[in-house]
Amino acid sequence: MDYVVRAIDEKAGILAFCGRTTNLVEKARLIHDTLPTASAAFGRLLTASALMGLMLKGEKDTVTLRVDGGGSAGIIVAHADSKGNVKGFIGNPGANIPLNQKGKLDVAGIVGSTGTLTVVKDLGLKEPYVGQVPLVSGEIAEDLTYYFDKSEQIPSSVALGVLVDTDGSIKASGGFIIQLLPRAEEKAVASIEEQLKSTKPVTQLIEDKLSPEDILKNLLKDFEITFTAKHVLNYHCSCSKEKIERILLSLGKNEVDDILRSQGTVELICNYCRKSYRFEKEDIDKIFSV
C-alpha cells in the first residue's frame, strides 16, 4: 500500500513529508504505457504532487505541477488532491534514452532544462495560486527545491526517486520533502544537511522496505518529530461522461459537427486515465438540443 506521511518538530521548526509511491507509479506506467526514462520522469513528478497534496489544508484543495522543459518527454503534468488521489500525464510516454554518465535513468535528458516548472494550487479562492520558476536541472527534485526557495521562500530539501526494473515495471518509487520553518535554528539546518549527505538514495530505502515513517525517523533522528497526517495514495481520475459532454458544449456545435463530418464519430480520450469517450451523431444532437 502506498501512502504519504507528514511530520513536524514544532520546537525545532521542521516540517517533513515522505511517501512510498511504487504502486501509484506502476499504475501510471500501465495506463500511459511509459518507457523507463519517461516512467522515471513522470514518477518523480507524481511523487512530488502526492507529497504536496499533504501540504494542502482545505478538503477540496488541489495542487497541479507542470514541467515544460523543451525535451523529448514533452509536457509532464501531475495533479493531487488533499486526500491522496493523484493523476497525471506525460506528452511523450515513449521518451527513452540511454543511462546518463552516473548510470542512472537520464530524466534531465528527456525533460530538458530550458523551460519552466509551474505549481498551481486551487485553494477554493477566486483565483488559484500560481508559482513559476525556470528549471535549474530538469531532474525535478532540484527544480522543486528551487521553486520552494524562490516562490514560497521556504528552504527545503527534496528527494524523489523511481527505480525501474529490467522488465520496465516499477521496482521502487518514493520521496521526501524536508522544510525549515522561519524559527528553525542554524544548528538544525547543519544537522539535516549532515544527515542527508550520509543517507542512501530514497529508492534504495524504499527497496530495503523502510516505511515512510522510518525514513523520516532516520533522517531526522536528532529531532523529536510527531506524525500529524497519513494519506493512502491512489491513482484516481474523476472524469465522467457528463464532464466530457461539457467539454463538447464548450467547443460549440460548429466545431463538433466538423469533427463528426470528418471522423464519422467524435472520440475524446481523457488525458489522465486514457479512458475513451465516443459520441455518435445522435448523442451529439442530444447534447446540443438541451
CB of 197 to Zn ion, least distance (A): 41
CA distance 179 to 156: 4
Told to check if 78 binds Zn ion by CB under 5 A, we report no
Told to check if 268 binds Zn ion by CB under 5 A, we report no
Q: Which of 42, 147, 223, 272 binds Zn ion (CB under 5 A)?
A: 272
Applying CB under 5 A, what is the total number of residues that bind Zn ion?
A: 6
Binding mask 215-254 for Zn ion (x = CB under 5 A): ----------------------x-x---------------
Please identify which residue in the block is written with the cell numbers 461522461.
241
Shorter beta-carbon distance to Zn ion: residue 80 or 225: 80
Nearest Cα neighbor of 244 from 287, 290, 289 is 287
> Considering only 6-14, 210-218, 220-228, 270-278, which stretch makes contact with Zn ion by CB under 5 A?
270-278
Size of the chain, expressed as the number of residues it contains: 290
Please identify which residue in the block is written with the cell numbers 451529439.
284
Told to check if 28 binds Zn ion by CB under 5 A, we report no
Give residue 71's identity as a one-letter amino acid code. G
Shorter beta-carbon distance to Zn ion: residue 117 or 248: 248
CB of 240 to Zn ion, least distance (A): 8
Q: Strand, helix or coil at 157?
A: strand
Nearest Cα neighbor of 141 from 111, 101, 97 is 111
CA distance 116 to 125: 24
CA distance 24 to 270: 18
Distance of CA 162 to CAs 65, 115, 206, 239, Å?
Answer: 17, 22, 10, 27
Shorter beta-carbon distance to Zn ion: residue 239 or 260: 239
> Where are the alpha helices (H) located in 155-228, listed in sequence order?
186-198, 202-207, 212-219
Q: Which of 52, 210, 273, 284 binds Zn ion (CB under 5 A)?
A: 273
Told to check if 89 binds Zn ion by CB under 5 A, we report no
Per the CB < 8 A criterion, the answer to whether 106 and 40 are in contact is no
Shorter beta-carbon distance to Zn ion: residue 265 or 276: 276
CB of 268 to Zn ion, least distance (A): 10
Contact residues toward Zn ion (CB under 5 A) are 237, 239, 270, 272-273, 275
